[in-house]
């Protein structure tokens, strides 16, 4: 255990990934002390946060020991068992978001039940205990049918778009608990990030467009180009309503489909989110600072953009792990580009960092972000 003595309020983050890592700079500025619970000392946030404890987030004893001395506990991921989060609260620890809210980001069936109840726009869906149930659902709502892992799926994992009964059988062969959703013929994917404090203050960032490739977000464009003011306001209202109705404290990311018939809620996350990384340079208050403010019940910061257009491009690992040798070209080519690396071992397809570009011409900003990302990943020009 660390002998570190904190000076300011202590925010304990369960999980030591890049989200916890990127929370450190605003914590330093605000005089907030971060403590992280890492699986091992080589994790992303453990490399930069002094007060790192090593333990198992699935072990209630480790969580209780970690929580001692923290003013509030929050999360880098949604995988902590719901019953452990509830137990921490019952033991007198302040946990944001609490178990009753976070379960909606952990369990997709619970999420759909609650969102349907509060009137949020959702696709037709159903729990499907067996392949035959999924086939009956598809017969009623049409093929293809989307099967999702009820718990644990992310970055395209745990999602099957099935066009035949044979593909349904393959999904069920995994042995994972699944639910079915009607396929949404969407035009593009959007996301809106909101923050809510314990006493109910809420703010919304501009709606963004997210570009997916093989189920992984590769680009975020802020604000979403061509989105009319009415739909933008509707998306923000949907997200703020969900945050309020679910009792979320901290950040809530709402992923949406935009289709011919309107907006449809796809997924929820209750933490800083990949769709909000652009806010580090692109907003007055970054999502990471906003989350810290919210969980400590401090007044929330302005979500106003700092430029007309902001584009964030994710960096995915490739065959060559030496990204640092390509720094010089990217920095010299575009002194305005911002680089963020997560301190992770490079593996093909793994998110290892992101780049951000800002400016007044969207096409130019996208091209700059794309050039930097592609060159850093491959050493090739776009």
Q: Which long-range contacts (CB under 8 A, 24 or more apart) does 231-235 make?
A: 231/207, 231/258, 231/262, 231/263, 232/206, 232/207, 234/263, 235/190, 235/192, 235/207, 235/263
In angstroms, the CA 77 to CA 153 distance is 12
Check whether 182 is labelled as a binding-site residue: yes
In angstroms, the CA 127 to CA 107 distance is 12
Check whether 338 is labelled as a binding-site residue: no
Tell me the C-alpha to C-alpha distance, in Å, between residue 109 and each of 148, 181, 262, 268, 332.
9, 10, 22, 12, 49
Contact assessment for residue 30 and residue 23, using Cβ atoms and an 8 Å cutoff? no
Check whether 68 is labelled as a binding-site residue: no
Backbone conformation region of residue 27, classed left if phi is above 0, alpha if psi is from -120 to 50, else beta = alpha
H helices then E strands: how many in the chain? 13, 17
Residues contacting 139, CB < 8 A, separation 6+: none
Beta bridge partners of residue 11, listed in sequence order: 34, 72
SS3 90: helix
In angstroms, the CA 95 to CA 53 distance is 18
Check whether 91 is labelled as a binding-site residue: no
| DSSP secondary structure string for all residues of 284-326 | SS-HHHHHHHHHTTPPPPP--BSSSEEEEEEEE--S----GGG
Residues contacting 63, CB < 8 A, separation 6+: 14, 37, 55, 57, 80, 84, 88
Contact assessment for residue 36 and residue 16, using Cβ atoms and an 8 Å cutoff? yes
Within 100-197, strands assigned E span: 125-127, 145-149, 159-162, 178-182, 188-196
Check whether 140 is labelled as a binding-site residue: no
In angstroms, the CA 270 to CA 102 distance is 7
Check whether 209 is labelled as a binding-site residue: no
Check whether 314 is labelled as a binding-site residue: no
Beta bridge partners of residue 145, listed in sequence order: 162, 182
**Which residues fall in the annotated binding site for ATP?**
108, 148, 181-184, 189, 266-267
**Which residues fall in the annotated binding site?**
108, 148, 181-184, 189, 266-267
């Amino acid at each position: 255990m660390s002998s570190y003595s904190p000076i300011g309020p202590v925010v304990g983050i369960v999980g030591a990934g890049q989200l916890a890592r990127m929370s450190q700079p605003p914590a330093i500025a605000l005089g907030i002390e971060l403590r992280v619970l890492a699986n091992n000392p080589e994790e992303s946030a453990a490399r930069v946060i002094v007060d790192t404890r090593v333990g198992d987030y699935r072990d209630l004893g480790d969580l209780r020991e970690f929580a001692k001395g923290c003013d509030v506990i929050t999360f880098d991921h949604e995988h902590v068992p719901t019953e452990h989060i509830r137990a921490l609260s019952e033991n007198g620890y302040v946990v944001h978001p609490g178990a009753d809210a976070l379960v909606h980001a952990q369990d997709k069936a619970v999420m759909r039940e609650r969102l349907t109840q509060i009137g949020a726009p959702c696709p037709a869906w159903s729990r499907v205990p067996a392949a035959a149930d999924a086939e009956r659902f598809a017969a009623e709502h049409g093929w293809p049918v989307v099967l999702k892992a009820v718990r644990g799926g992310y970055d395209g994992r745990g999602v099957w778009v099935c066009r035949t009964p044979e593909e349904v059988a393959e999904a069920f062969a995994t042995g994972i608990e699944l639910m079915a959703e009607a396929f949404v013929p969407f035009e593009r994917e959007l996301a809106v990030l909101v923050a809510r404090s314990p006493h109910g203050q809420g703010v919304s960032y501009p709606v963004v467009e997210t570009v997916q490739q093989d189920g992984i977000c590769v680009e975020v464009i802020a604000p979403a180009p061509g989105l009319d003011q009415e739909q933008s306001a509707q998306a923000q209202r949907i997200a703020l309503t969900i945050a309020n109705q679910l009792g979320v404290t901290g950040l809530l990311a709402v992923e949406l489909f935009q289709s011919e018939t309107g907006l449809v809620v796809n997924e929820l996350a209750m933490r800083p989110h990949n769709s909000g990384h652009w806010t580090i340079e692109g907003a007055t208050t970054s999502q990471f600072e906003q989350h810290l403010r919210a969980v400590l019940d401090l007044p929330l910061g302005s979500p106003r953009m700092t430029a007309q257009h902001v584009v964030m491009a994710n960096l995915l690992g490739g065959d060559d792990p030496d990204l640092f040798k390509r720094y010089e070209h990217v920095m010299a080519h575009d002194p305005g580009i911002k680089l963020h690396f997560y301190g992770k071992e490079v593996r093909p397809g793994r998110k290892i960092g992101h780049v951000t570009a800002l400016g007044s011409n969207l096409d130019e900003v996208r091209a700059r972000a794309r050039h930097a990302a592609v060159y850093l990943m491959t050493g090739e020009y776009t």
